[in-house]
Amino acid sequence: NAGVTQTPKFRVLKTGQSMTLLCAQDMNHEYMYWYRQDPGMGLRLIHYSVGEGTTAKGEVPDGYNVSRLKKQNFLLGLESAAPSQTSVYFCASRRSSATLSLTFGPGTRLTVT
Amino acid sequence: GNSVTQMEGPVTLSEEAFLTINCTYTATGYPSLFWYVQYPGEGLQLLLKATKADDKGSNKGFEATYRKETTSFHLEKGSVQVSDSAVYFCALSHNTNAGKSTFGDGTTLTVKP
């Protein structure tokens, strides 16, 4: 099993550009999450999904959109990137409501200039 | 709401020293508690967990005990190695509310030979 994979690993955007980050998991997990990690601020939840076709807002959703059309994929979109979105983005998943521990992807480092 | 407070870092130790990283939490009900570890350039990995009061989680020589009376989950290791150098995150999660996790800010540990 590949676990949780993220594409791309690195990206540099100019302000106003758009992009989509892809998260894929091959563990048949129901729940998927997008976090951002900034120095000294731990991990903050952007959006999450409790199953295929569902999405919900987390703690810091502004400027981001998500989709979960297939159970194994969770896409994070930035419609108009801003320098404040420079961060490391982590996708995570968990199997079911009975399993609370998360499996994380390797992260995407995004820089917006 | 839920919150997790970790000992501020960075922490620098010599090899074979004793490690304690403090973690306290605020939450309603009975959350599950976790320690995750992040090695340089990687995503977070589950290190250990405890799901109820007085449970002890352990893995790779690390231990933490769920103390409900002091709302704490301190991470300990008797003899650290250079390879333990990483960022450590304390986290909590409930079965409800889509199992969203709340993370501490992380503590950076550097072990010198």
pLDDT digits (tens, 9 = 90+) for B40-91: 989 999 999 999 999 999 999 999 999 999 999 999 999 999 999 999 999 9
The C-alpha atoms of residue A66 and residue B44 are separated, in whole angstroms, by 22
For chain A, give the percent of residues with pLDDT over 70. Answer: 100
For residues A58 and A33, the answer to whether their CB atoms sit within 8 Å is: yes
Contact A100/B42, CB-based, under 8 Å? no
Residue A68 has pLDDT above 90, yes or no: yes
Residues of B in contact with A40 (CB under 8 A): 105
What is the reported pLDDT for A72?
97
pLDDT at B30 > cutoff 80: yes
CB contact under 8 Å between A97 and B99, yes or no, is yes
Query: Stretch B79-104: mean pLDDT, rounded?
Result: 91
Q: Which residue of A has its CA nearest to B88?
A: A42
Tell whether B99 lies on the interface with A, counting CB pairs under 8 A.
yes
B44 touches chain A (CB under 8 A): yes
Query: In the sheet where A73-78 sits, what is the strand order?
Result: A4-7, A19-25, A73-78, A64-67
Kindly report the number of other CB atoms within 10 A of residue B103's CB atom.
24
For residue B1, the model assigns a pLDDT of: 84
Phi and psi based region of residue A82 (left: phi greater than 0; alpha: psi -120 to 50; beta: remaining)? beta
Residues of A in contact with B9 (CB under 8 A): none
Contact yes or no for B42 and A107 at CB 8 A: yes
- The confidence score (pLDDT) of residue B99 equals 76
Which residues is B81 bridged to in the sheet?
none
Cβ contact, residue pair A106, B99, below 8 Å: no
Q: Tell me the average pLDDT of chain A.
A: 95
What pLDDT score does A41 carry? 81
Kindly report the nearest CA distance between residue B15 and chain A, in angstroms.
26
Give the pairing type, strands A87-94 and A108-112.
antiparallel
In this predicted structure, the answer to whether residue A13 has a pLDDT above a threshold of 80 is yes
Higher pLDDT among residues A5 and B8, named by residue: A5
